[in-house]
Structure 1
């Protein structure tokens, strides 16, 4: 395929800002991922058919690749590049001389505005930038957010393990509160429970938002079991059992053995008000 558009290989003679047609195989994605792959994304096929019928409406933005000769690095337009590749067509691109920071800002500004990144994609885009050493000020500019918002994105991205994110995908309808709930459940779960959730057969054939719901439900903590009451047997001086006392967080239960001391139960019941009054008096 590269030979079809040999004239569109990177060249220092191409003017900065020029629009050219490039072999999509020569266009490599930015090292900082802003998308979470989703194998169930059916919208791409519709997008590809639109490109087939109407052509590519908007050029992608690239720079000459800093470490691979004869290649470009994509600031934005990976979806358009992927469609061109699948259709066997060149991709229209604006070639600009971008610094690393300018590439990141252009990538963030365009993708966040145009591509409708989901919450978790924005969170991981921010984290990916931080992990490769992008300055906080550049991240803020690329994300178009304030520092507290960025801190929230980073905390959520840090809390969701890579295998969980890969199994769920972008989950476009899931916002921060539900991702935080999932993060809490992951922290409370054992590794075995997380692995079992990720291996659930209910994930098969589900869309990304539905996969999120399946994993969230699978990691729902079971209701805490009430501790069994602590039981104590009471015996008289002769060693005869006359009562059983059970203590729990809810209170205390006393069961009297009627055969051991007939009438004692009625005697105790009648004097409970006196015992209560004496107890309260003892407390001052």
Structure 2
């Protein structure tokens, strides 16, 4: 199948370019292969072709790297740096600082990032994957080791998805948000299946979470790396069934200590969920649902279309009469 061959080609290309035994570090730091005399090189033509095709592993100034594509981490934002002032004012996440400390000695970054040349800004690159490593090198003020390849958007997305699918540190919610971002950028469900190596059922589960948990709330909770599908689905269903609403959830999180982890924030929300909503069906086709967030009524027209149409016409008057009755009864009770 063409799509599978494309995926295999990307994997093979990345492996060929990153395998240490296939590389000669001195050659990689020189000019591109087309500008060199390779007659005395010990690198075989086959290996040289792989290096030339991928443009090899290079040392790139991280300030020349631009963000690209769907975001796959909640706590890592790669922004363009255009001046020394921007560089000095950038705030780095603690996880990026910790990574920077682990790659502080030059040459300690063993896994390269994947970049492609920017078509819009000459001399700049767009990141396919490796944002945290880029930020870590930017924090250290040192070059980042990068594999540079010319790639179309779909191939770049596939490479990003393949790299993400092999990482254990991406949380369930981050993967769901990554899938959401891919779809919002105009890609099809089939392209998401391929990019993330997931099934239709898994994408459906991701979508249920992202459709019902607003991004603003998900950002407030955080990636919750120890929390999997059951917890996020529980929250999504509670929001869907209106056992809690977004404002209530934000208020519950507002006063929590900043020291609380994202997993603890999610657990805090789940511990305050009300039980299943009370549902009353006074007549056929009418359901009244009572939750901690309020009361909703649903009228199914197919059960009794004539009554549904009558109710639609008279609902305002009925509610007004109910309100007047409520105020009268409440006043009588208070007077007694």
Q: TM above 0.5, one fold?
A: yes
Choose 188-197 or 60-69, whichever is displaced more. Answer: 188-197
Larger-Rg structure = 1
Inter-CA distance 140–190: structure 2 relative to 1 (3 Å threshold): closer
Contact 1:20 1:95 in 2 (8 A): yes
Query: Which residue number corresponds to residue 68 of structure 2?
Result: 30
Query: Which residue number corresponds to residue 100 of structure 2?
Result: 48
Q: How far, CA to CA, are the matches of 2:276 and 2:145 in structure 1?
A: 57
Query: Which residue number corresponds to residue 288 of structure 2?
Result: none
Query: Which residue number corresponds to residue 262 of structure 2?
Result: 208
Q: How far, CA to CA, are the matches of 1:58 and 1:224 in structure 2?
A: 50
Q: How far, CA to CA, are the matches of 1:109 and 1:70 in structure 2?
A: 27
Contact 1:203 1:211 in 2 (8 A): no
Aligned-pair CA distance for 1:44: 3.5
Per-residue CA deviations over 1:218-244 (Å, capped at 9, x if unaligned) read 4x127989xxxxxxxxxxxxxxxxxxx
Matched, 1:103 2:156: yes
Q: How far, CA to CA, are the matches of 1:138 and 1:68 in structure 2?
A: 27
Query: Which residue number corresponds to residue 198 of structure 1?
Result: 253
Q: How far, CA to CA, are the matches of 1:121 and 1:45 in structure 2?
A: 20
Alignment of 1:9-24 (within 5 A): 15-17=52-54, 18-24=56-62
Q: How far, CA to CA, are the matches of 1:192 and 1:122 in structure 2?
A: 25
- Say how many residue pairs are matched: 215
Q: How far, CA to CA, are the matches of 2:229 and 2:249 in structure 1?
A: 20
Matched, 1:177 2:230: yes
Query: Which residue number corresponds to residue 262 of structure 1?
Result: none
Inter-CA distance 141–67: structure 2 relative to 1 (3 Å threshold): same
Inter-CA distance 71–190: structure 2 relative to 1 (3 Å threshold): same
Q: How far, CA to CA, are the matches of 2:69 and 2:277 in structure 1?
A: 45
Alignment of 1:254-269 (within 5 A): none
Match of 1:45, SS state, is helix
Contact 2:158 2:195 in 1 (8 A): yes
Per-residue CA deviations over 1:152-186 (Å, capped at 9, x if unaligned) read 11221222111111111110111111111111233
Gapped runs of 5+ residues in structure 2?
1-28, 36-50, 77-90, 279-336
Match of 1:68, SS state, is coil
Aligned-pair CA distance for 1:115: 5.1
Residue of 204, 208, 221 corresponding to 2:274: 221
Q: How far, CA to CA, are the matches of 2:185 and 2:52 in structure 1?
A: 30
Contact 1:40 1:207 in 2 (8 A): no
Alignment of 1:1-284 (within 5 A): 15-17=52-54, 18-37=56-75, 42-53=94-105, 55-114=108-167, 116-187=169-240, 188=242, 189-199=244-254, 201-218=255-272, 220-221=273-274
Inter-CA distance 222–123: structure 2 relative to 1 (3 Å threshold): closer
- Richer in strand (by share): 1
State the TM-score, normalized to the length of structure 2.
0.58
Q: How far, CA to CA, are the matches of 2:93 and 2:145 in structure 1?
A: 24
Match of 1:149, SS state, is helix
State the TM-score, normalized to the length of structure 1.
0.68
Per-residue CA deviations over 1:250-283 (Å, capped at 9, x if unaligned) read xxxxxxxxxxxxxxxxxxxxxxxxxxxxxxxxxx
Contact 2:157 2:195 in 1 (8 A): yes
Aligned-pair CA distance for 1:203: 4.0
